[in-house]
Amino acid sequence: MRTKTSFIILAISVIILFVMIFLSISLIGLNPKNVKQKVNNGSQKIEITSSEKQEIDGWIYKNKLNPYGDPYDTVYTGGTPLFDEISGEKKDRYLYVLEQHPDRPWK
């Protein structure tokens, strides 16, 4: 009886460990600082470093904008500007911010 209980506790612990690892990778991401992320914008590829992503996020926070760099009270068809309902494609959030603010005001 004792070994069965120990096995169940061990199995639950391993499952919890895997869930925690998965969530930490999902939430934090595996993109270290200054690694460029290539975003395909049609025929043009835009490179966004993780440090520029941090600058964008800081600019959004500082200016009290929504996560997409628009005024906080902006309402979008479908709930997000990142999803094109016609094509069914999803756009990268940072690419959307760059398209809306090509002058890069966070720099």
| pLDDT score of 1 | 61
pLDDT tens track, the chain, 107 positions: 678 888 888 889 989 988 887 777 666 554 544 444 555 555 566 778 889 999 999 999 999 999 999 999 999 888 889 988 888 888 889 989 998 998 899 98
Instruction: Label each residue of the chain as H, E or C.
Output: CHHHHHHHHHHHHHHHHHHHHHHHHHHHCCCCCCCEEEEEECCEEEEEEHHHHHHHHHHHHHCCECCCCCECCCCCHHHCCCECCCCCCECCHHHHHHHHCCCCCCC
| pLDDT score of 29 | 53
Q: Is residue 5 left, alpha or beta, with left meaning phi > 0 and alpha meaning psi from -120 to 50? A: alpha
The domain tally of the chain equals 2
Same domain, 83 and 35: yes
Same domain, 67 and 100: yes
| pLDDT score of 35 | 45
Enter the pTM of the model.
0.58
Same domain, 24 and 54: no
Same domain, 18 and 45: no
